[in-house]
Structure 1
Amino acid sequence: MQTPFIHNHQFNYIHKQANFLIKTLRSVVDPKVLKTVRYTVGTNVIEVFDELTSELTSEQKHLLERLSTYDTPHDVQLYLNELEAYLIPFPQISAKQIQKLFPKAKKLKLPDLESINYAHTTYLRWIDIATSRLFIVYPHEGRFFGIEGRITATNKKGYCMFCHRHQELGFFNVKTKRHSPDHFSAIGQYVCMDNEACNHSISDITMLEKFLFSAVK
């Protein structure tokens, strides 16, 4: 049985490198260029696990390095399908746990937990259309963090601060108690309006965590 060791954002990054390799295989015949691209792809994938490299088993490292060895787009796609079995899913969470994260949200509208693809979820998010509020739940070091704020559609496309994807954006504004319980401030960012697509595109959690932890301090 395979032991999951790939997070969703890492898989998304691998997928982007795989697409780069597929594009090269379809358009380049120069063996030197192909060799360079293979080396770049293989190196980039390993670097995604840089902080965990010492913890990777030889089998896991070999699995990641295999991406650079394929000769056809079809083989690359089969490889990506194989990686699905190694994805670490979003931790199991119940409706009651979510409600405890947002005690001040009256009549909290919960997401359909049964329809979520947890393997491809980096952070749980949903929009309550009636109140124009975006809710986010994020797992970190064995705990769940929750933030909420108003999201206003811009009706324009741009780059999401979380996934760096060019898509329809909304301005996400979150009130925080940074200095004292009686003094509120606010932070905001432009983020995707599409919940699922953002999770399918995010390949680096740096900006996501920076924003979330700034909001919960």
Structure 2
Amino acid sequence: MNAFIRVDQYHFIKDQAHNLLNGHMTSNDSSVTQALKSITYEKVLALFTELTNEQDQLISQVQQVHDETDAILYFSRLKQYVVPFPELTEDHIKELFPKIKKLNVPSLVDIAWSETSYISWNDPGANRKYIVTYIDGKLEGIIGHYHPSRQKSICTICHDYEKVGLFTSTIGGSLNEGTISRGNYICHDSNKCNQNLKSKNNLKKFVQHMQG
């Protein structure tokens, strides 16, 4: 069986499995836990437009998560079928930002590609943040001014409550508008954000909004 689960789908399934696990821990009512199992499976199944019998069998095993051991084993099986983020080279990334003469690309060696929906890094010296991802199969890169916040808030990309910063990009508007600045609060730690990201649609909307 080939890989068929996107990274964000994998994190969504993990989140649903943990919810089911919490349900088993807090309720002894079999009718309640059975209903929760059915709801969990339906939510996970809704992620996919079409599944083979073999793929469906794997996905349906989310209903069998009763304790931490079950969860660990299930996540291990799932991860074998996650479609990883296509590995990039430093040259690939530099091509996305041709106007930046001295681009400090972070090390790509230790990136967990099977847990990554986008790559991002901070450049504190220039107050910048870079984001690289695939949108509809095309590699996209955006750059913005970045100012960390002292307070936690909801991240625009992952929609979780985390330490964030204001990401602002400037795009060219119409002749009458001139340039337009757009800003959103996003996670300071992109690794944490990737772990929280359960719908790539949120990432897609953010990138498209920043690009104008």
Fold-level match, TM-score > 0.5?
A: yes
Question: Please, which moves more after superposition, 69-78 or 204-213?
Answer: 69-78
- Residues 1:161 and 2:156 aligned together: yes
Q: How much does 1:79 deviate? A: 0.5
1:171 corresponds, among 148, 166, 173, to 166
Q: How much does 1:178 deviate? A: 3.9
- TM normalised by structure 2 equals 0.94
Query: 2:14 corresponds to which letter in structure 1?
Result: H
Whole-Å separation in 1 of the counterparts to 2:139 and 2:173: 20
Q: Could you say which residue in structure 1 is the equivalent of 2:201?
A: 206
Q: How much does 1:209 deviate? A: 0.9
Whole-Å separation in 2 of the counterparts to 1:36 and 1:3: 31
Q: Could you say which residue in structure 1 is the equivalent of 2:23?
A: 24
Q: How much does 1:83 deviate? A: 0.7
Whole-Å separation in 2 of the counterparts to 1:171 and 1:70: 38
Q: Could you say which residue in structure 2 is the equivalent of 1:60?
A: 55
Deviations 1:41-67 (A, max 9, x none): 000101122xxx23x211111211111
- Residues 1:108 and 2:107 aligned together: no
Whole-Å separation in 1 of the counterparts to 2:69 and 2:84: 26
Deviations 1:22-47 (A, max 9, x none): 11112211001001110110001011
2:5 is paired with a residue whose SS is: coil
Whole-Å separation in 2 of the counterparts to 1:210 and 1:76: 31
Q: How much does 1:124 deviate? A: 1.0
Q: How much does 1:154 deviate? A: 1.0
User: What are the ranges of 5 or more consecutive residues in structure 1 without an aligned counterpart?
Assistant: none
Deviations 1:136-168 (A, max 9, x none): 111123321110001101110111111111111
- Residues 1:145 and 2:145 aligned together: no
- TM normalised by structure 1 equals 0.92
* 8 Å CA contact 1:156, 1:168 repeated in 2: yes
Whole-Å separation in 1 of the counterparts to 2:152 and 2:65: 35
Whole-Å separation in 1 of the counterparts to 2:38 and 2:129: 41
Q: How much does 1:176 deviate? A: 1.2
* 8 Å CA contact 2:10, 2:82 repeated in 1: yes
1:112 is paired with a residue whose SS is: coil
Query: 1:157 corresponds to which letter in structure 2?
Result: K
Q: Could you say which residue in structure 1 is the equivalent of 2:187?
A: 192
> How many residues end up aligned between the 2 structures?
211
Deviations 1:99-122 (A, max 9, x none): 110011121110211111111000
Query: 2:132 corresponds to which letter in structure 1?
Result: V
Deviations 1:158-197 (A, max 9, x none): 11111111111100001112436x9321111011101100
* RMSD after superposition: 1.5
Q: Could you say which residue in structure 1 is the equivalent of 2:13?
A: 14
Query: 2:26 corresponds to which letter in structure 1?
Result: S
Whole-Å separation in 2 of the counterparts to 1:209 and 1:141: 9
Whole-Å separation in 2 of the counterparts to 1:19 and 1:195: 22
Query: 2:38 corresponds to which letter in structure 1?
Result: Y
1:25 is paired with a residue whose SS is: helix
Whole-Å separation in 1 of the counterparts to 2:206 and 2:71: 34
